[in-house]
Structure 1
Amino acid sequence: LKLKIGEFQKRMPWIETLDITVENEMNTIYKQAKKAAEIAIQRLKQMKMKVFRPSDYFAEMVKSDTHMQKVRQRIADIREGKERQENIRRLREEKKFAAKVQREVIENRQNEKKKLKEAVMKHRKGLKGQLEEMLNNAKSLQIYDDKTDATSHLKKKDNQMRNGVKCSKLSRNARNKKFGFGGQKKRSKNNTKER
C-alpha cells in the first residue's frame, strides 16, 4: 500500500503536493529550511508561478472603497456635530457669565447710590462721620455716570452757545417772524370759492 501511494505521488505534478525533502543530513534546522525554501522558489519560477507580491500590490479590502468613504464621512460628521455642540454650550455659558457679571455691576452701582443717599441723609441730620468715606466710594460711580451723561450735556451746551457767545431764547416776535404766527388751525383745508 505504501509503495502504491509513493507511485501516485511520483506521478502527480509537484505543485499538487509541494513536498520538499533534503536528502543530506541536517546540520541545523535553519540550513534545512533555507535550502528547502530556495529549491521551492526555483521550482515555482521554472513553472512561471508568481512567488512574490508586486511592490504596488494592495490587498483587497472586505468593504468596498465607497463604503469606507461613507464610513469616514459619517465619522467626520459626528466629530463636527460634537464640536458644534461644544461651541454652542461654551457660548451659552459665556452668555450666562456675562449676564451674571452685568447683574453684579448694576447691583454694585445701586448699592453705591444707596450708600451715597444714606450718607447725604445722615449729613443732613448731623452725622458727618461716614460722609467722607461714602463720598470717596461714590466718586468712582460718579465718574462713570459723568461719562455717559457727557454727550447729552454737550448737546445742551451747543444749543445754548453759538460762536462762543451765550444766546438767550428767541423772543416771541422773532419766532413769529421766523416760523409764522399760528392762526386758526380748524377748517383751514376746506374748499372755498378762492381755491
Structure 2
Amino acid sequence: MPVYDVAARKKRPAVVKLNGTPKEVNEKNEARRKGKMASNDKKENNAEGEKTAAVEFSEPAQWVERMALTSTKSLPADLNADDDPRREEVFIQQALLSVSRGISLLEEAAVPWRRPADYYAEMFKDDVQMGRIAAAIEDSKARIEAQAHRRAVKDQKKYGKEVQAELLRQRAKYKREMGERITEWRRKRKGNDELKEILDDGDAKGIQSAHAAHRVRTPKQRNLRPGGVGGSKRRPGKNARRRR
C-alpha cells in the first residue's frame, strides 16, 4: 500500500452512527440540557425556601423578645402620596398608637420601660457641637425674622405710597369736577345776570319801604308810650315826699 494512502486514512474522521437525523439529535441534546438546568433551578429554589422557612420559624415566641408591632389602623383613603406634611402626620399618629399599645404590653409583662433617674446616656454629638448647632439655628431664625420685617416695612411703605397717590388722584378728580361744575354754572348764569339785578333791586326797595312803614306810628301808638301824653313826668324829689 502506498504511503500517502495510509496518511489519508489516518486523517479521516471517525464515523459515528446516530439514531435519527442530525436535527433530531440536536433537539434531543437541547431538551436534555434544559432538563438539567430546570432541575438545578428547582434545587436552588428548594434551598432558598428552606432558608426562608428557617428564618420565619426562628423568631422567639415571646413578644418581649421581639417587640414588633403592626399598626391596626389603616391609612386614610383620601391620603395623597405627594402631600408630605399630611403623610408624615398620619405616620406619626400610627406610630403613637403602636407605642401606646407596646407600653401596655410591657406593663402587663412587668417589664420596666422607663429610664432610671440616674441613667446617663452619652450623646453622639458633644455639647460644644450641639451649642454651635443651636447658635446656627438661632442665627438663621433671627435672619429670617429680620428679612420678614424688612419685607413687611417695604410692603407697608409701598402701600402707603399707593394710598397717598390714590388720595391725590381723588383730590385732583374732585377739583376737576368742581371746576367743570362751576364753569357750567357760570355759563348758564351769564344770561340771567340782568334779570337777577332787576330782581335784587326790587327786593331791596320793597325791604326799605317795609322798614319805613314799620317805623311810622299812629298818634294812638305814640300815646301808648310809657309816661302817657307829653312824655314822662318828673318824679317828685325826696324832700317833697317828706313834706307830705
- Structure 2 length normalisation: TM-score? 0.30
- Larger Rg, first or second structure (1 or 2): 2
